[in-house]
Structure 1
Amino acid sequence: MTAAYLHIPFCDHICFYCDFNKVFLEGQPVDEYVDMVIQEMAIMKERHPNEKVETFYIGGGTPTTLTASQMEKLLIGIQTYFPMEKGAEFTVEANPESISFDKFKVMKEYGVNRISMGV
């Protein structure tokens, strides 16, 4: 089984207990980060063309600090380079203060079927 983890390091605020790599969202080049992650996925797919990802996890930071359009662009990239079988686990970490109906709609449309909610 092949699993993939994608790290989104941006946060609306920095939690004192978190030891993960993270940066305060304001002023960060988020669009460029998303573009570079998609380029990295293309490189990995080229290097490992026969790998099938059975589990995909997007963590952070706080992935839901991405706007709905940034989230959509990222998920399109994932579906392009690492399409998953129906029913494969596809998780996104979320925080209640950074989630919205539009973001849930985008995640559902592109196959996310599990939310890991921090409270």
Structure 2
Amino acid sequence: MAGPQANDKRPLSPHLQVWRWHVTMATSIFHRASGVALYLGAMVLTAWVVALASGPAAYADFMSFLMSPLCLLILFGITAAACYHLANGIRHLAWDAGKGFDPKVSTATGWATIVAGAVGAVLVFALAFLA
């Protein structure tokens, strides 16, 4: 029967406190999260198409709901997720070609994808609402 003394000799596995945060780790997490957000976007798009097919009254009701402040915030998040996912997908294509693995390049491209997601979402919303 093993007691507490037997566990004292086993090596401890690294914990999150041991790891230092870095942007490439964050981009990996953001990529997965943006993929999940895009599923939400697909459901919103499906609801929009159903409302469109249901006639003018249903479409008008859905659009008034979609233009509420909370829904606009959700739509902005979905747009940011799409822009980020696209930018990070391009980064992954470069990695597939064997480029960009140097730590400095990887950090720079990681920040570039985050900025591209934010700037892309702002540009899309600016074009949509200022046009």
Considering the TM-score relative to the shorter chain, is it more than 0.5?
no
User: Greater helix percent: which structure?
Assistant: 2
Task: Give the strand-richer structure, 1 or 2.
Answer: 1
Q: TM-score, normalised by structure 1?
A: 0.30
Q: Which has the larger radius of gyration?
A: 2
TM-score normalised to the size of structure 2? 0.28
